[in-house]
Amino acid sequence: MATYAELRALFGEGALANATEVAVVVKAQAIFSEATPSAARLAWAESALANTRSEAEKFLKYVLAANKALTVAQIRAAVTADPPTAFQAQVDAAINKLYQ
């Protein structure tokens, strides 16, 4: 289990931030491809593409909090997996909860 200090240190970790930024872009594209996305989802996707870094920072924090029971090594492994399916699913779930 990661400590709060370890989780906080991960907020600024480049590899995690970059992976989260890509995951946000992937989810934004997926929303644009939905048959009937809500106005809120479309607005978020458009904003996310214009502000990927700030959206990534927000969702990285959410995913880290949601996975606080994991070790730092397990969190890093989810991001570096090829493909990072579990990590993408975590970002997708967070976005889906906030933007329906």
| Mean pLDDT for the stretch of residues 52-66 | 94
What rounded mean pLDDT belongs to the chain?
95
Tens digit of pLDDT for each residue in 6-19?
A: 999 999 899 999 99
Angle between helices 52-66 and 39-50 (to 10 degrees): 110
Amino acid at 40: A
| Mean pLDDT for the stretch of residues 47-71 | 95
pLDDT at 100 over 90: no
Q: What is the pTM of this model?
A: 0.92
Per-residue confidence (pLDDT) for residue 96, from 0 to 100: 94
The C-alpha atoms of residue 17 and residue 8 are separated, in whole angstroms, by 13
Count other Cβ atoms within 10 Å, centred on residue 72. 16
Q: How confident is the model at residue 44 (pLDDT cuts 50, 70, 90)?
A: very high
Per-residue confidence (pLDDT) for residue 90, from 0 to 100: 94
pLDDT at 22 over 90: yes
| Mean pLDDT for the stretch of residues 71-98 | 94
Block residue for tokens 């214009």: 50
Signed CA dihedral, 67, 71, 75, 77: sign only = negative
